[in-house]
Amino acid sequence: MSDPVIHIRGLKTQFGSHVVHENLDLEVERGETIGVIGPSGCGKSVLLNQIVGLLQPAEGDIEVFGHTLNQLSSRERHALERRWAVMFQDGALFSNLTVRENVMAPMREHTDLSLTLMKELADLKVLMAGLTSTAVNKRPSELSGGMRKRAALARALALDPELLFLDEPTAGLDPITAGRFDELVRELSKTLGLTVFLVTHDLDTLKSTCDRIAVILDKHIKYIGPLQEIARIDDPWIKEYFSGPRGRAVVD
Protein backbone atom coordinates (compact mmCIF):
# COMPACT_ATOMS: atom_id res chain seq x y z
CA MET A 1 0.00 0.00 0.00
CA SER A 2 1.08 3.56 -0.59
CA ASP A 3 0.78 6.30 1.99
CA PRO A 4 -1.00 4.36 4.76
CA VAL A 5 -2.67 6.52 7.38
CA ILE A 6 -2.58 3.69 9.94
CA HIS A 7 0.21 1.09 10.01
CA ILE A 8 0.14 -1.56 12.76
CA ARG A 9 2.91 -4.13 13.11
CA GLY A 10 3.17 -7.10 15.46
CA LEU A 11 0.50 -5.88 17.86
CA LYS A 12 -0.08 -7.88 21.02
CA THR A 13 -2.89 -7.03 23.43
CA GLN A 14 -3.00 -8.71 26.80
CA PHE A 15 -5.06 -8.25 29.95
CA GLY A 16 -3.46 -10.32 32.69
CA SER A 17 -3.11 -13.81 31.27
CA HIS A 18 -5.76 -13.20 28.60
CA VAL A 19 -4.29 -12.48 25.16
CA VAL A 20 -6.74 -10.64 22.89
CA HIS A 21 -4.49 -9.88 19.90
CA GLU A 22 -1.21 -11.48 18.91
CA ASN A 23 0.98 -10.59 15.93
CA LEU A 24 -1.74 -8.37 14.48
CA ASP A 25 -0.77 -6.39 11.37
CA LEU A 26 -2.93 -3.84 9.56
CA GLU A 27 -2.56 -0.98 7.10
CA VAL A 28 -5.30 1.53 6.34
CA GLU A 29 -4.96 3.57 3.17
CA ARG A 30 -5.58 7.29 2.97
CA GLY A 31 -9.14 8.08 1.92
CA GLU A 32 -10.58 4.60 2.41
CA THR A 33 -13.31 3.42 4.73
CA ILE A 34 -12.34 0.16 6.37
CA GLY A 35 -14.78 -1.94 8.38
CA VAL A 36 -13.49 -4.16 11.18
CA ILE A 37 -15.57 -7.24 11.98
CA GLY A 38 -15.16 -10.42 13.98
CA PRO A 39 -16.80 -12.50 16.70
CA SER A 40 -17.92 -10.84 19.92
CA GLY A 41 -14.96 -10.51 22.26
CA CYS A 42 -12.32 -10.65 19.53
CA GLY A 43 -11.13 -7.14 20.37
CA LYS A 44 -12.54 -4.90 17.65
CA SER A 45 -13.22 -1.93 19.93
CA VAL A 46 -10.05 -2.72 21.88
CA LEU A 47 -8.08 -2.30 18.65
CA LEU A 48 -9.75 1.06 18.00
CA ASN A 49 -9.01 2.20 21.54
CA GLN A 50 -5.35 1.25 21.16
CA ILE A 51 -4.98 3.23 17.95
CA VAL A 52 -6.40 6.35 19.59
CA GLY A 53 -4.28 5.82 22.69
CA LEU A 54 -6.87 4.87 25.28
CA LEU A 55 -5.18 1.49 25.76
CA GLN A 56 -1.53 0.53 25.47
CA PRO A 57 -0.48 -2.62 23.60
CA ALA A 58 1.78 -5.16 25.28
CA GLU A 59 3.93 -5.39 22.16
CA GLY A 60 4.11 -3.97 18.65
CA ASP A 61 4.04 -0.58 16.97
CA ILE A 62 1.17 1.63 15.87
CA GLU A 63 1.91 4.35 13.32
CA VAL A 64 -0.63 7.05 12.49
CA PHE A 65 0.20 9.59 9.77
CA GLY A 66 3.73 8.19 9.73
CA HIS A 67 4.37 8.73 13.44
CA THR A 68 4.97 5.83 15.84
CA LEU A 69 2.70 6.64 18.76
CA ASN A 70 4.85 5.30 21.58
CA GLN A 71 7.80 7.41 20.43
CA LEU A 72 6.04 10.78 20.57
CA SER A 73 6.40 13.43 23.23
CA SER A 74 3.26 14.73 24.93
CA ARG A 75 3.33 17.85 22.76
CA GLU A 76 3.74 15.83 19.56
CA ARG A 77 1.00 13.42 20.59
CA HIS A 78 -1.37 16.28 21.36
CA ALA A 79 -0.77 17.81 17.93
CA LEU A 80 -1.30 14.46 16.20
CA GLU A 81 -4.54 13.77 18.05
CA ARG A 82 -6.06 16.93 16.56
CA ARG A 83 -5.93 15.18 13.18
CA TRP A 84 -8.37 12.43 14.20
CA ALA A 85 -11.72 12.16 15.94
CA VAL A 86 -13.69 9.37 17.58
CA MET A 87 -17.41 8.70 17.69
CA PHE A 88 -17.97 6.17 20.46
CA GLN A 89 -20.78 3.62 20.43
CA ASP A 90 -23.01 5.45 22.91
CA GLY A 91 -22.14 8.88 21.54
CA ALA A 92 -20.49 9.93 24.83
CA LEU A 93 -22.22 13.31 24.71
CA PHE A 94 -22.15 15.54 27.79
CA SER A 95 -25.67 15.20 29.18
CA ASN A 96 -25.70 18.64 30.80
CA LEU A 97 -24.67 20.48 27.61
CA THR A 98 -26.72 21.40 24.56
CA VAL A 99 -25.86 19.96 21.16
CA ARG A 100 -24.12 23.22 20.23
CA GLU A 101 -22.13 23.21 23.47
CA ASN A 102 -21.15 19.56 22.92
CA VAL A 103 -19.82 20.36 19.45
CA MET A 104 -18.01 23.42 20.79
CA ALA A 105 -16.26 21.40 23.51
CA PRO A 106 -13.31 20.23 21.32
CA MET A 107 -12.95 23.77 19.96
CA ARG A 108 -12.71 25.19 23.47
CA GLU A 109 -10.05 22.65 24.39
CA HIS A 110 -7.90 22.82 21.28
CA THR A 111 -8.36 26.28 19.71
CA ASP A 112 -8.27 29.98 20.56
CA LEU A 113 -11.28 30.85 18.42
CA SER A 114 -13.70 33.50 19.57
CA LEU A 115 -16.94 32.37 21.17
CA THR A 116 -18.94 33.80 18.27
CA LEU A 117 -16.91 31.89 15.70
CA MET A 118 -17.11 28.67 17.71
CA LYS A 119 -20.89 28.95 17.82
CA GLU A 120 -21.07 29.55 14.07
CA LEU A 121 -18.79 26.60 13.33
CA ALA A 122 -20.68 24.34 15.73
CA ASP A 123 -23.97 25.18 14.04
CA LEU A 124 -22.40 24.40 10.67
CA LYS A 125 -21.17 21.00 11.88
CA VAL A 126 -24.64 20.23 13.23
CA LEU A 127 -26.14 20.93 9.81
CA MET A 128 -23.42 18.85 8.12
CA ALA A 129 -24.36 15.94 10.38
CA GLY A 130 -27.93 16.09 9.13
CA LEU A 131 -29.61 17.80 12.07
CA THR A 132 -31.80 20.88 11.76
CA SER A 133 -30.97 24.21 13.36
CA THR A 134 -33.62 23.58 16.01
CA ALA A 135 -31.48 20.79 17.48
CA VAL A 136 -28.57 22.99 18.55
CA ASN A 137 -30.20 24.13 21.80
CA LYS A 138 -31.47 20.71 22.83
CA ARG A 139 -29.78 18.42 25.33
CA PRO A 140 -29.05 14.75 24.55
CA SER A 141 -32.02 13.58 26.63
CA GLU A 142 -34.32 15.53 24.31
CA LEU A 143 -33.04 13.78 21.19
CA SER A 144 -33.98 10.49 19.56
CA GLY A 145 -31.34 7.78 19.21
CA GLY A 146 -30.64 8.71 15.60
CA MET A 147 -30.35 12.40 16.46
CA ARG A 148 -27.90 11.64 19.27
CA LYS A 149 -25.74 9.70 16.81
CA ARG A 150 -25.75 12.68 14.45
CA ALA A 151 -24.93 15.07 17.28
CA ALA A 152 -22.00 12.84 18.25
CA LEU A 153 -20.87 12.83 14.62
CA ALA A 154 -21.10 16.63 14.52
CA ARG A 155 -18.84 16.82 17.57
CA ALA A 156 -16.39 14.38 15.97
CA LEU A 157 -16.20 16.70 12.94
CA ALA A 158 -15.66 19.80 15.08
CA LEU A 159 -11.92 20.15 14.38
CA ASP A 160 -12.03 19.03 10.73
CA PRO A 161 -10.27 15.68 11.28
CA GLU A 162 -8.53 13.75 8.53
CA LEU A 163 -9.18 10.41 10.23
CA LEU A 164 -12.50 9.38 11.76
CA PHE A 165 -13.04 6.43 14.08
CA LEU A 166 -16.59 5.08 14.40
CA ASP A 167 -17.42 2.42 17.01
CA GLU A 168 -20.68 0.62 16.17
CA PRO A 169 -22.20 3.82 14.73
CA THR A 170 -25.59 2.29 13.90
CA ALA A 171 -26.00 0.14 17.04
CA GLY A 172 -29.49 0.51 18.50
CA LEU A 173 -30.95 2.28 15.47
CA ASP A 174 -33.90 1.06 13.45
CA PRO A 175 -33.08 -0.04 9.87
CA ILE A 176 -34.34 3.16 8.22
CA THR A 177 -32.44 5.47 10.59
CA ALA A 178 -29.34 3.27 10.33
CA GLY A 179 -29.51 3.40 6.54
CA ARG A 180 -29.70 7.18 6.56
CA PHE A 181 -26.75 7.37 8.92
CA ASP A 182 -24.71 5.07 6.66
CA GLU A 183 -25.53 7.31 3.69
CA LEU A 184 -24.44 10.37 5.67
CA VAL A 185 -21.10 8.77 6.59
CA ARG A 186 -20.48 7.80 2.98
CA GLU A 187 -21.29 11.29 1.69
CA LEU A 188 -19.15 13.03 4.32
CA SER A 189 -16.19 10.73 3.79
CA LYS A 190 -16.20 11.49 0.06
CA THR A 191 -16.89 15.21 0.40
CA LEU A 192 -14.34 15.81 3.16
CA GLY A 193 -11.76 13.27 2.00
CA LEU A 194 -11.89 11.40 5.30
CA THR A 195 -10.20 8.14 6.14
CA VAL A 196 -12.70 6.14 8.20
CA PHE A 197 -11.93 3.28 10.61
CA LEU A 198 -15.25 1.65 11.42
CA VAL A 199 -16.08 -1.12 13.90
CA THR A 200 -19.45 -2.71 13.25
CA HIS A 201 -21.61 -5.83 13.27
CA ASP A 202 -24.03 -4.31 10.76
CA LEU A 203 -23.93 -6.02 7.37
CA ASP A 204 -25.81 -3.16 5.71
CA THR A 205 -23.24 -0.69 7.02
CA LEU A 206 -20.44 -2.80 5.57
CA LYS A 207 -22.07 -2.83 2.16
CA SER A 208 -23.06 0.84 2.19
CA THR A 209 -19.90 2.46 3.49
CA CYS A 210 -16.81 0.24 3.41
CA ASP A 211 -14.16 -0.09 0.72
CA ARG A 212 -12.50 -3.01 2.50
CA ILE A 213 -13.31 -5.37 5.37
CA ALA A 214 -10.78 -6.56 7.96
CA VAL A 215 -11.73 -9.72 9.85
CA ILE A 216 -10.27 -10.39 13.30
CA LEU A 217 -10.06 -14.14 13.88
CA ASP A 218 -7.56 -16.20 15.86
CA LYS A 219 -6.28 -12.99 17.56
CA HIS A 220 -5.13 -11.24 14.37
CA ILE A 221 -6.36 -9.80 11.07
CA LYS A 222 -6.93 -13.08 9.31
CA TYR A 223 -8.64 -11.77 6.19
CA ILE A 224 -8.84 -8.37 4.53
CA GLY A 225 -10.38 -7.25 1.25
CA PRO A 226 -13.57 -6.01 -0.43
CA LEU A 227 -16.85 -7.28 0.96
CA GLN A 228 -17.62 -9.55 -1.99
CA GLU A 229 -14.24 -11.29 -1.67
CA ILE A 230 -14.53 -11.72 2.09
CA ALA A 231 -18.02 -13.20 1.76
CA ARG A 232 -16.69 -15.97 -0.51
CA ILE A 233 -13.95 -17.16 1.87
CA ASP A 234 -14.28 -20.77 2.99
CA ASP A 235 -14.07 -20.18 6.74
CA PRO A 236 -16.61 -21.40 9.33
CA TRP A 237 -17.10 -18.01 10.99
CA ILE A 238 -17.32 -16.18 7.63
CA LYS A 239 -19.88 -18.68 6.38
CA GLU A 240 -22.01 -18.30 9.51
CA TYR A 241 -21.75 -14.50 9.42
CA PHE A 242 -23.03 -14.28 5.86
CA SER A 243 -25.42 -17.25 5.95
CA GLY A 244 -28.54 -15.45 7.19
CA PRO A 245 -31.05 -13.61 4.95
CA ARG A 246 -29.39 -10.24 5.55
CA GLY A 247 -25.96 -11.68 4.86
CA ARG A 248 -27.10 -13.24 1.61
CA ALA A 249 -28.80 -9.98 0.61
CA VAL A 250 -25.70 -7.83 0.94
CA VAL A 251 -23.54 -10.10 -1.21
CA ASP A 252 -26.10 -10.83 -3.95
pLDDT of residue 232: 92
pLDDT for 2 beyond 70: no
pLDDT of residue 221: 97
Strongest mean pLDDT among 62-66, 69-73, 169-173: 62-66
Domain boundaries along the sequence of the chain: 1-83+164-170+191-252, 90-160
Kindly indicate the confidence band of residue 1, based on its pLDDT and cuts at 50, 70 and 90.
Answer: very low
Segment 121-132 shows an average pLDDT of 93
pLDDT score recorded for residue 250: 58
The CATH class of 1-83+164-170+191-252 is alpha beta
Helix H, strand E, coil C: the string for the chain is: CCCEEEEEEEEEEEECCEEEEEEEEEEEECCCEEEEECCCCCCHHHHHHHHCCCCCCCEEEEEECCEEHHHCCHHHHHHHHCCEEEECCCCCCCCCCCHHHHHHHHHHHHCCCCHHHHHHHHHHHHHHCCCCHHHCCCCHHHCCHHHHHHHHHHHHCCCCCCEEEEECCCCCCCHHHHHHHHHHHHHHHHHHCCEEEEECCCHHHHHHHCCEEEEEECCEEEEEECHHHHHCCCCHHHHHHCCCHHHHHHHC
In the predicted structure, residue 152 carries a pLDDT above the cut 90: yes
